[in-house]
Amino acid sequence: MFYCSCFFLFSFSFVFVFRSFVLFCYFFAKCASKSCFYWLTPRSLLFFVVSSSRAFSAFLLVTYSFVGVLSLITRNT
């Protein structure tokens, strides 16, 4: 049961990390194609900050679940 929950947390967090990475790349692609100040609005900055904080929290969750699985494996061997 612990393996299943860790796998679920890992896969769920991976989706958030991947989504935030795509948004990060989109942010810089838009910045390179036009003037950054042309489309840089407070709403887009807020969206970028929220997606980055989600990516960071998902990274911490992935790290925590990975360490939990490793400690469980090493404890049982």
The model's pLDDT over 51-70, given as tens digits with 9 standing for 90+, comes to 777 777 777 777 777 777 77
Cα–Cα distance, 44 to 64 (Å, whole number): 30
Is the pLDDT reported for residue 38 higher than 60? Answer: no
Q: Please check the confidence at residue 14 and state whether its pLDDT lies above 60.
A: yes
**Per-residue pLDDT at 36:** 59
Q: Is the pTM of this model over 0.75?
A: no
- pLDDT at position 72 is 74
Q: Both tokens of residue 59? A: 């990274």
- The rounded Cα 37 to chain-centroid distance in angstroms is 26
> What is the secondary structure of 32-46 as a DSSP string?
HHS-HHHH--HHHHH
- Distance CA(30)–CA(68), nearest Å, equals 39
pLDDT at residue 15 in the model: 72
Helices (H), the chain: 2-33, 36-39, 42-76
